[in-house]
Amino acid sequence: MNERIHHTMGQQSGRRSWAEPWKIKMVEPLRMTRRSDREGALAGAGWNTFLLRSDDVYIDLLTDSGTSAMSDRQWAGMMLGDEAYAGSRNFYRLEQAIQRWYGYEHVVPTHQGRGAEHLISQTAIRKGQYVPGNMYFTTTRLHQELAGGIFVDVIADEAHDPADRSPFKGDVDLAKLERLIVEHGATNIAYVSLAATVNMAGGQPVSMANVKALRELCSRNGIRLFLDATRLVENAFFIQEREPGYADRPIAEIAREFCGHTDGAWMSAKKDSLVNIGGWLAVRDRTLFEELRNLVVVYEGLHTYGGLAGRDMEAMAIGIEESMQDDHVRSRIGQVRYLGELLDDWGIPMVQPVGGHAIFLDARAFYPQLSQDQFPAQTLAAELYLDSGIRSMERGVVSAGRDPATGGHHYPRLELTRLTIPRRVYTQAHMDVVAESVKAVYDGRAAARGLKMSYEPRYLRFFQARFEPL
C-alpha cells in the first residue's frame, strides 16, 4: 500500500497554488534526444551552444529574446498588416502604443534592439567621449565603441558579487559617475546609458530612487540620460515588490514613471513586448529625433517601418499592452522564481536574488578547479546540454570579449551560465526537468576539465567561437 501523500508545490511552500493567466491553444512538438546524439551534436557545434541546431535541443533556454509565445490577439493582429512601403497604419498603432505606455513623444522603429543601439550611438556619441553605463551589454557596448565612445562601468559594486542579495543591484553608483564627470568634464560624456533591468548582472533591477537621483545629477551637469527599456516591465515589477510606496501601483504606471526620468529609450521588443522580432528608439527632443529619423533610412528602412513588416509592428503594438498587465508579469517572473527557489534550496550556486528573466548559475563556484582561461561558464553550458538537451548561454569571459585598447581578454568578475526563460512557452514540468538536470551536473562537477578556444571571430566572439575539450 502506498503510504505517501503527494503535495503540490504550493502546499509544500504553505500557500495556495496559482497558475498562468492563459491556456494553451497550439503546441509545437519537441524532439527528445539521447546522450550519444547530443555528444555528436555538441562536437559538431564546436562546444558552443549558439552553434547547435535547435532541432537537437530539448528545452531551449538560450535566450528569452524573440522566443516568447504570441497571444491569439497578436496572431490576429498579424493578419491586419498594412504592408505599404510608406505610412503603414500599423506604424501609427505602434507609435501610439509607445507614447501611451512608455511616454516618449518621437518614435523610430528598428528591426531589433541593436538597430536602435546603432542609431543612437552614431547620433549621440562624438569620438573620444565617455559613455557611463550600469554594467555593459554586449551589443550596446560594441555600438558605443564603434561610434568612438569609451564605455565606463558605473554600476554599484554589489552587482559584481553573485552572492550579494541587495534588492536593487542594477543601481548606478552615483559617486562613481560623479568622479567620472569631475575627472573628464561633462562635455566629454556623451550620455548616461541606463539599462533596467541589467541583463549581465543577472536581470537585476534599478530602483526608482536611483533613476530619480540620476536624473538630478544629469540635469545639473547637462548630460542626457538614455534608457535601455528592453526589460523595463520586469524592472517595474521589482519596484512594485520591493520599493516603499509602490506596492499598490500598477506595473504600467511604475514603468511610465520610470521613463519620465529619462530623455529617451531604445528597445529590443523581442523581450518584454512578446514579439519574435522588432525594436524601437524613442526620444523627447525634436532635433535629435530628426537626426535619428534621417539615419534610420540609411541602415534600417523608411522611418515608418524601420526594417519591419506592417504585421510585425501590429503584433508589437498589441504585445506592449499585454506585457504591461500585472497578472502577466507576476506569472512570468513567478516561473523564473519557481526554478530559482528549487535550485537555491538544493544549494546550487547562482546569482542572488533571482532576477526577472533568467537563472544565472555561478560557474566559478561550480568549477573552482578551472581558471577563467579554461572557460568555466562555457563548460557548464556544454555539460548541461550533454546531460539533458537543455540549451543555456555563456555569460562570462567569452561574452566579455577583448579590451579594444590592449587586445587582451576582459576578465569579468561574473562568470555565469544563463538559463533564460522564454515568456508563455514552457510549463512547470519543464522547469522541474531543468532543475534536476542542473543538480545532476552540479553533482558531477568535480570531473569537469574545461575547454580551449580553437576559433575566435573578431566581433561578438561568443556567437561563433569554437572550442575543444581539454
Catalytic residue among 60, 171, 173, 228: 228
To the nearest whole angstrom, how small is the minimum distance from the Cβ of residue 444 to ligand P71?
A: 27
The yes-or-no answer on residue 238 being catalytic is: no
Can 138 be counted among the known catalytic residues? Answer: yes
Q: Alpha carbon 161 to chain centroid distance?
A: 19
Question: Least distance (Å) from ligand P71 to the CB of residue 73?
Answer: 22
Point out the catalytic residue in the list 15, 85, 327, 455. 85
Q: Is the peptide bond before 353 cis (omega within 30 degrees of 0)?
A: yes
Residues that bind ligand P71 (CB under 6 A): 63, 65, 112-114, 137-140, 195, 199, 228, 230, 268, 270, 279
3-state secondary structure of 358: strand
228 part of the active site: yes
- How many residues are listed for the chain in this entry? 470
CA angle (302 as vertex; 280, 256 as ends), nearest 5: 20
Q: Which is nearer to ligand P71, 199 or 262 (CB)?
A: 199
Q: What does the block give as the cell for 132?
A: 557611463
- Among 395, 423, 445, 461, the active-site one is 395
Selected catalytic residue, list 58, 104, 136, 137? 137
DSSP 182-203: HHH-GGGB--EEEESSBTTTTS
Name the packing angle between helices 138-146 and 113-124 (round to 10°): 30
For residue 66, what is the DSSP state?
A: S
The Cβ of residue 373 has, within 10 Å, a number of other Cβ atoms equal to 13
| Minimum separation from the CB atom of position 412 to ligand P71 (A) | 14
CB of 37 to ligand P71, least distance (A): 25
Q: Which is nearer to ligand P71, 22 or 50 (CB)?
A: 50
Instruction: Considering the complex, state which of residue 382 and residue 448 has its C-beta at the smaller distance from ligand P71.
Output: 382
Q: Of the residues 38, 141, 169, 271, which is catalytic?
A: 271
Question: How many C-beta atoms surround the C-beta of residue 79 within 10 A?
Answer: 8
Residue with the CB atom nearest ligand P71 in the bound state:
113
Q: Closest distance between ligand P71 and the C-beta of residue 307, in Å?
A: 11
Spatial separation of the C-alpha atoms in residues 287 and 289, rounded to whole Å = 5
Taking the C-alpha atoms of residue 307 and residue 363, their distance in angstroms, rounded to an integer, is 38
Decide if 100 is catalytic: no
The residues annotated with a catalytic role in the active site are: 85, 137-138, 228, 271, 395, 462
